[in-house]
Amino acid sequence: MSILKFVKDFYEIFTSAKSFKDNDIFGSYWANRCGLHVLRLCMGHWMSQFRWLLLSWRLDKDLRDRFHKDGYLIIEDFLPEELFNQLEAEMRVYERGMRECHQGNTVTQRVLFDFEDEYNVPEILSLKNLDKLNNLFRYCGAANHSPVLYKEKVNNGVLDTDQPDPQKNLHSDTFHPTVKAWIYLDDVTEENGPYNYV
């Protein structure tokens, strides 16, 4: 390993980088036996605790307490009804820039909303600028920046294949606290496939 590569890999210990393939230190059996991964878990959680303290003014105490007790928040009827109805109508037809990912028998379709894009719909811009949504993302994600917003459609069981879908197995993608959120256009029932997220 070159000196430059070692310095880069060492620096990444203190970041959210997580690739065992790209970073020789992360992939080191001995570094992990000596506690590297545990150290990074602790550092990630300490940093989040510090950021939650700094961002606590963004969220009511009741919501903060529920989030830390349960690890998630469910907020029904979160959006104003008029905005939700406009958003729902637009999202059912909006497909500009859609990308597809095939995993096992599932097709996931995604549209990234780029807020510099002149084709963005006003409802999405309204959602992005909604203070109560931004405050939730910033506090719960322990990161003081605006969220990345997508339209996502998960088509489960539509491909005829025996290949496994890794998204259907509970797994951990990262070692530090993170946040994801969904606004469902339809009620979540057993029939339309409830989402499991840990």
What is the tens place of the pLDDT at every residue in 68-86?
999 889 888 888 888 888 8
- Tokens 């917003």 map to which residue? 149
16-25 residue pLDDT tens: 888 888 899 9
pLDDT at residue 178 above 60?
yes
Residue 66's pLDDT band, with cuts at 50, 70 and 90, is: very high
**Euclidean distance between CA atoms 69 and 99, whole angstroms:** 36
Average of pLDDT values for 153-167? Answer: 85
Q: Is a pLDDT exceeding 70 seen at residue 193?
A: no
The confidence score (pLDDT) of residue 176 equals: 78
Q: Name which of 90-104, 141-155, 175-189 the model is least confident about.
A: 175-189
pLDDT category of residue 118 using cuts at 50, 70 and 90: low
What's the pLDDT band for 115 if we cut at 50, 70, 90? Answer: low
Highest-confidence range of 46-50, 88-92, 109-113, by mean pLDDT?
46-50
Q: How far is CA 198 from each of CA 52, 71, 106, 123, 181, rounded to the nearest angstrom? A: 20, 9, 20, 29, 12
127 within 8 A of 133, measured Cβ to Cβ: yes
Cite the DSSP H helix spans in the chain. Answer: 3-11, 29-33, 36-55, 61-70, 81-91, 122-128, 131-140
Residue 119 pLDDT greater than 70, yes or no: no
Model pTM above 0.85: no
Mean of pLDDT over the chain: 86
First to last CA, the chain: 37
pLDDT for the residue numbered 29: 92
Task: Supply 191's token pair.
Answer: 């029939």
Tokens coding 124 = 């999405």
Contact between 137 and 194 (Cβ < 8 Å):
no
Residue 185's pLDDT is 81
